[in-house]
Chain A
């Protein structure tokens, strides 16, 4: 289930005044079962990058392999790829169109050519996975609250039973509670089904809390790629490109500078709290 990009370049509107080099020589591999975060500024190429993963956008040059098969090869089953790599766009609720939630979620499986019963079974399963209340299955998707709409839209992609789930800013425009809800649900999905998840975000805090690996995009280039702690240890470089490490990273570095012998690798508030308590309990004894 791995997705491998080799030297992918993408140029928008080539040869016009609006020409833009959106991706520059990007190579990376996403392994099965990974929970990957892609971060970067607006216009850093992260949305363009993920649209390559299921073949919606064709690279200007370079190659993409899904399970070792070149997706640009003649006769490659693009439709098959799209049901394997489920892509949830930013503001996915803008794509809802059916009369009720259940039939909207059925749209994906229906396009896969499944029977009506099977579609509905998968739709119910997907809605359950995202924690959508059953009593609202037959409501119009346009009458739901923002958070519920988004759940329904994510379920619409999940109902296709993808092996890889790609989410583009799934929390944009939600309040903090809705944001945590959706992200917790995504983590639950990842843990329950072993699905590969790619989460695009510009919030370091969100990403730090959930993912195991971070890819940092900057001006169309892959800037950093590694485990969360490793990437945040480059917090000075991140700052230079206008991104910031989670606030706790700064707190920990400051504490260390001022003489408290803490490890600076903590990336979430909980980890930081535990680390500070550990050091305080053991007095001034330094580990180094």
Chain B
């Protein structure tokens, strides 16, 4: 089900100051896809999620879930969370410690007074789906972090909600488990074909889980697109910086050609194949991610986007070498194959792939 949000505002007042948690948010969350709200802490992503689910009351605006208006200041509508028919997985999982796994998962059905046999059947089916067969009688607090997480997921899914919401559900797991659970979650959600809204500050989670990513900053949605679009073609420096490590080189547009734009910068002319709506002379920033910098032999000087520099530092991180190259006054970060023969202090040539040089408007 599609969620449409219009002109949503929410302010917090603390010690005489007003903080805009949501600033005039307009958003359409597409149906049956995994939609991620990504942003640094305090950007308003959790507030937006809590407004959708009904735990937070916006100051103004309208929220409709699948065509049904659940909140509107104009029409004076506020549907409480228990009437919205949604499922939610909390950051803390919010597993009730005084109930066993069965009662935790059965709870949404029990609130609807469904027949006992139906409840048993549905709980069994859902627990099977999240691979917790036979866990019904276990006390909820005796489960591991990953298992509690799956109980929370089962509870959110059992009543077959229209929409399922996730508030940073993986942030309490350790790194390895987080990776496994992320893959599982992706598999579950893809199989279910359900509208999922996922809040996270972890870019890898956002990129690997989502069909659509919306990046938020100071209560606004800054940019929205598929993970590839956000990673490769973001228009804003904030987004490009937040979604991954990148080099930013200031410059001015020199020429705008067919399928290629040249930018004059401190390290020389940079050719970029990305499309851009800027005329010559405009101040721009070229963004190049460290993995798209190729290191060549020092005498290599044929072709476009070739620069000379000196390796300032080099760190072996296992699957790659990471380091810094000084080109003139500019320090660039790069990441290369672990087998490459490069040494610290070595003079080298480097090459930017024009297909991966994006231009950000200042």
Do A and B bind?
Answer: no
